Every structure is written in C-alpha cells, then in structure tokens.
C-alpha cells in the first residue's frame, strides 16, 4: 500500500479530528442553524477518513484532497453571515480547512519526492 511520508498522514488525521469535533460542537451546541438541526452530519465523511490517514494511506489523502474544498467553500459562504457568532465560527472552520489543505499539499509533495528518489514504501 502506498504510504504518505511522515508526519503528513498523522497531521492530516489530527486536523480532521479537530474539524469533526469543531463541526459537531458548532452545529449542535455553539450555534446550530435551528433547533434539532442535523447539519452536524456533514462531518461524517471526514470522520471516515481519519483511520486511513492515521495509517498514512495515500488513497485517503487523495480523497481528502477532493473533499476538503467543500468544507472550505462552506466556510467562505457562512463567513458572510450577518450574525457575528456565525462569522467567527466560520472563520475557525476556514482556518481548520486551510490547515488541512496545506498539510495535504505538503504530504503529496513529500510523497512525490519520495517516489522520485526511488524509496518506494
């Protein structure tokens, strides 16, 4: 199985763990859209990727590289909210998604360098 060079798989796993916790707290307790909202379910795809990223599997990083932009876009849309609390929570969500995007980029770059050198995992 193709492996992401250390530490990028685990950095992404931790970033996703933070996003899952943040998303659930945001949508259930801190500032739900409405009472009984099920919007917290949006973090399930992220949660499913955590075990594979913790094991540094390249396939999971590839899936995350496609998926993270949905969360980034949601943060950009919700940051324009007239409610200050919503805008601040969206800024936190944007920051977490940017951290994940940068660590995806760094992990893919490290993997590409590893393959160029010939140190296949």
Report helix, strand or coil for 76. Answer: helix
Please name which of 45, 49, 43 lies closest in space to residue 28, comparing C-alpha atoms: 43
pTM equals 0.88
pLDDT digits (tens, 9 = 90+) for 17-73: 999 999 999 999 998 888 888 989 999 999 999 999 999 999 999 999 999 999 999
Give the C-alpha separation, 108 to 65, whole Å: 9
Packed helices 8-25 and 84-117: angle between N→C axes, nearest 10 degrees: 160
Please name which of 1, 115, 119, 15 lies closest in space to residue 65, comparing C-alpha atoms: 15
pLDDT digits (tens, 9 = 90+) for 57-96: 999 999 999 999 999 999 999 999 889 999 999 999 999 9
Neighbours of 73 (CB within 10 A): 12
Domain spans in the chain, listed from the N-terminal domain onward: 8-117
């Amino acid at each position: 199985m193709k492996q992401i060079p250390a530490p990028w798989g685990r950095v992404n796993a931790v970033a996703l763990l933070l996003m899952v916790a943040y998303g659930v707290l945001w949508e259930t307790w801190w500032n739900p859209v409405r009472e009984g909202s099920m919007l917290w379910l949006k973090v399930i795809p992220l949660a499913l990727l955590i075990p594979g990223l913790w094991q540094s599997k390249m396939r999971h990083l590839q899936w995350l590289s496609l998926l993270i932009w949905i969360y980034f876009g949601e943060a950009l849309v919700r940051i324009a909210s007239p409610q200050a609390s919503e805008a601040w929570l969206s800024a936190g969500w944007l920051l977490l998604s940017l951290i994940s995007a940068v660590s995806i980029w760094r992990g893919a770059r490290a993997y590409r360098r590893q393959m160029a050198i010939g140190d296949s995992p």
